[in-house]
Amino acid sequence: MTSPASSSEVKYLIESSEGNTFDVSGAALRQSNTFNAMFLNIGADGPIPFTDYNEATLKKVFEYCEHSVNEENYSGPKHQDDLSKWDLNFFNEMDQKMFIDVINASNFLDIERLTSYCCERIARMLRGKNTQEMIKVITLPTAEELEAKQKVEEKKAAAAKKVAEKAAETAEKTETLEELPVQQLVQTTRNKLTRKYLSFSNE
Amino acid sequence: MPPFPLLHLPQLVLFEVFKSLSIGEKFKLSLCSKKISTQINNARLYSQKAVVALDILRKKISVLCKNGQDNCEIFTYPNSGKSRDSNAQQFSIACCSVSAVSIPIGIKIFCKNHEEGFLSVIRHLLKMFQCKMSTGRYCWRQELFQPILTELFDLQQEFGTITVGLHETVDHNVLNRIFSYLGLVEGLEIPSVNFLPPSFFIPIFPPWPRRRIIIESNSSWLTLDILFTCTCSYIDIANTNLENKKLDEILTHWKAGGFPNLEYLQIGSTKFKRDGDPILGMVPNEWEDQITIRTDDGSKTAEVHIRRNNLVMDTLLIGLNF
């Protein structure tokens, strides 16, 4: 059950790639700019499909969001040394695959704080090293791997389109219930969706 | 921990990672592979803005971030020096094969020759950062000065400061190019080269540099008509032939609204006379200290004083528009 109300008590249903659904609080979800652009004001009719990411990844991402609900407003990238004990544990308990999945999901959901901390963590792997040492730290992909990455990006753009369509569909339903203010809301949402979709397509 | 698949990250994340790295780290990372270098170049507009100071004499290129907290020094040497350093590794910079050794403050690059190394590093940096170039005070006396400037002008590259001596060894075509290009240069400095035979080159203005003009050499060519076209905020021109009356006209021009961007003006003159024509209604000998003047519309105030035998008007504006 989802609701357009903005109270932090409101829960939203999230659907993962396995088709599983789970609850996330509105307060946590609002840290995602992608969500804000699509569903915040109009609510979602049914589960929100983030089906490009598995349940474990999405739960990990929203675990972070739930934890940082009560933290002060995000004010730009934080140095790794300034991370709290909880933040450090959060990152340390992930293996590399999960870490990469979390970065990808956080990037798609546009959660600034989490994405920024992930980036800082990667930058830290390279910091203070010379070129030879950097080469040892990173894997240099083959042409085939780069091609595969391109396909993944295209798939993500398609997924973003799917989510956008879902939001637009919800918006249209809302449009029939209320008059002018909602229409304006829908138009705003559509504009945001178009921008978001275009940005994914351009990547 | 297995190697990290950096290039598998989404482009925006990758850009954010690059942004978190210092200039030196980013430069070293760009040498890892052509693919990484390409990604760093793609993130150029997203990257920190850098000031690139060329010190041709010391074979050094300093790359500084605008806030001054991040800098990297790149030294270029001919390949003959490589044998002395067994840590040198082979990389490619701007299609040029080089050896490189990391040092705490930056990196040493060994290339076929100094010119190729220097130009390759500059080309590489221009792709990585939004750069503003500056030439060191004595660069203009080096052979490499002309090819570097020619290449950068062709690229319509912005400059912070260009320092060039008006001396016969500097090709007049290059000088003409510099003076025609000043619209993209923040500051131009022409040092005194009294120890060398003078040049017959006469600078042509406008265009003027965007902010600062400093001329220490002979400026007998300067007329009021030329000076009044100056749009710089900092003007320091020594050794003009402007007499007291002309110097007075400069202040009158400013009071009437001329030099709209001016913050500081200093004009030296070999024809200034302390007992000559009055300036601001007084013979210079009668000036006791600085005189405060105001524009006719009352919007700006300035302090004027005379220093030493040459007339030097040191105009420090106070108040509005700064």
Reported as a single tens digit per residue, the pLDDT across A73-91 is 665 655 656 677 888 899 9
- CA–CA distances in Å: residue A99 to residues A56, B9, B19: 11, 11, 20
- Residue A169 confidence (pLDDT) above 50: yes
| Contact between chains at B5 and A119 (C-beta distance less than 8 A) | no
- CA–CA distances in Å: residue A117 to residues A18, A29, B20: 27, 18, 10
| Contact between chains at A141 and B5 (C-beta distance less than 8 A) | yes
Q: How many CA atoms lie within 13 A of A202 on its CB side?
A: 7
Of the candidates B86, B63, B88, B87, the one whose C-alpha atom is nearest the C-alpha of residue B74 is B63
Of A119, A131, A137, the CB nearest to B3: A137
- Average pLDDT (B239-256) is 92
Task: Write the CB contacts of A97 (distance below 8 Å, at least 6 apart in sequence).
Answer: none
Best interface-test mutation with A: which of B1, B14, B17, B47 has the largest number of A CBs within 10 A?
B17
**Residue A55's pLDDT band (cuts 50, 70, 90):** very high
How far apart CA B249 and CA B254 sit, in angstroms, is 9
**CA B68 to chain CA mean position, Å:** 16
Q: Is the pTM of this model over 0.80?
A: no
| pLDDT score, position A48 | 86
Best interface-test mutation with B: which of A132, A199, A201 has the largest number of B CBs within 10 A?
A132
| Contact between chains at A130 and B102 (C-beta distance less than 8 A) | yes
Which residue's entry shows tokens 């108040």? B319
The bridge status of strand B130-135 relative to strand B49-55 is parallel
Helix intervals (H) in B155-271: 172-180, 224-227, 244-255
Of A104, A126, A136, the CB nearest to B21: A126
Q: What are the two backbone dihedrals, phi and then psi, of residue B306, each rounded to the nearest 5 degrees?
A: -115, 135
- CA dihedral sign, ordered A12, A17, A19, A20: negative
Tell me the shortest Cα–Cα distance from B252 to chain A, in angstroms. Answer: 51
Beta bridge partner(s), residue B234: B212, B264
Residues in chain B: 322
| pLDDT score, position A3 | 44
| pLDDT score, position B31 | 92
**Residue A43's pLDDT band (cuts 50, 70, 90):** low
| Contact between chains at A137 and B36 (C-beta distance less than 8 A) | no
Nearest chain A residue (CA) to B29: A131
Reported as a single tens digit per residue, the pLDDT across B130-172 is 999 999 988 998 888 988 998 999 999 999 999 998 887 788 8
Q: Which long-range CB contacts under 8 A does A56-59 form with residues at least 24 apart?
A: A56/A98, A56/A101, A57/A16, A57/A98, A57/A101, A57/A102, A57/A104, A57/A105, A58/A14, A58/A16, A58/A22, A58/A105, A59/A22
**Residue A142's pLDDT band (cuts 50, 70, 90):** low
If you average pLDDT over each of A5-14, A152-161, B229-238, which comes out highest? Answer: B229-238
Q: If you count residue pairs, one on A and one on B, with CB atoms under 8 Å apart, how many are there?
A: 96
| Contact between chains at A119 and B102 (C-beta distance less than 8 A) | no
Whole-number percent of chain A with pLDDT over 70: 68
| Contact between chains at B20 and A120 (C-beta distance less than 8 A) | yes
How far apart CA B8 and CA B268 sit, in angstroms, is 62
| Contact between chains at B10 and A104 (C-beta distance less than 8 A) | yes
The bridge status of strand B212-215 relative to strand B300-304 is unpaired
Which residue's entry shows tokens 């700006």? B300
Could you tell me where the beta strands, DSSP code E, fall in B89-222? 89-93, 96-103, 106-111, 130-135, 159-163, 185-190, 212-215
How far apart CA B187 and CA B161 sit, in angstroms, is 5
| pLDDT score, position B319 | 33
Q: What is the mean pLDDT of chain B?
A: 87
Which residues in chain A are closer than 8 Å to B102, comparing Cβ atoms? 130-131
How far apart CA B98 and CA B112 sit, in angstroms, is 8
Please report how the helices A112-126 and A85-92 are oriented relative to each other, as an axis angle in degrees rounded to 10.
Answer: 70
Nearest chain A residue (CA) to B18: A123
Of B3, B22, B31, the CB nearest to A139: B3
- Average pLDDT (B300-311) is 76
| Contact between chains at B28 and A130 (C-beta distance less than 8 A) | yes
| pLDDT score, position B210 | 95
Which residues in chain B are closer than 8 Å to A137, comparing Cβ atoms? 3-4
How far apart CA B307 and CA B274 sit, in angstroms, is 11
- Average pLDDT (A181-197) is 52
Which residues in chain B are closer than 8 Å to A153, comparing Cβ atoms? 10
Cβ(B174)–Cβ(B146) below 8 Å:
yes
**Residue B81's pLDDT band (cuts 50, 70, 90):** low
Query: What's the ipTM?
Result: 0.76
**Fold for domain A11-202?**
Potassium Channel Kv1.1; Chain A (3.30.710)
Of the candidates B141, B312, B300, the one whose C-alpha atom is nearest the C-alpha of residue B242 is B312
- Residue B200 confidence (pLDDT) above 90: no
Which residue's entry shows tokens 């009719």? A45
Tokens of B76: 């270029």
Reported as a single tens digit per residue, the pLDDT across A106-135 is 999 999 989 999 999 999 999 989 998 999
**Residue A11's pLDDT band (cuts 50, 70, 90):** confident
- Residue B240 confidence (pLDDT) above 80: yes
Instruction: Transcribe B267-306 into DSSP letters.
Output: EEESS--TTSS-BTTB-GGG--S-EEEE-TTSSEEEEE-B
Instruction: Transcribe B124-153 into DSSP letters.
Output: HHHHHSEEEEEE-TTGGGSTTHHHHHHHHH
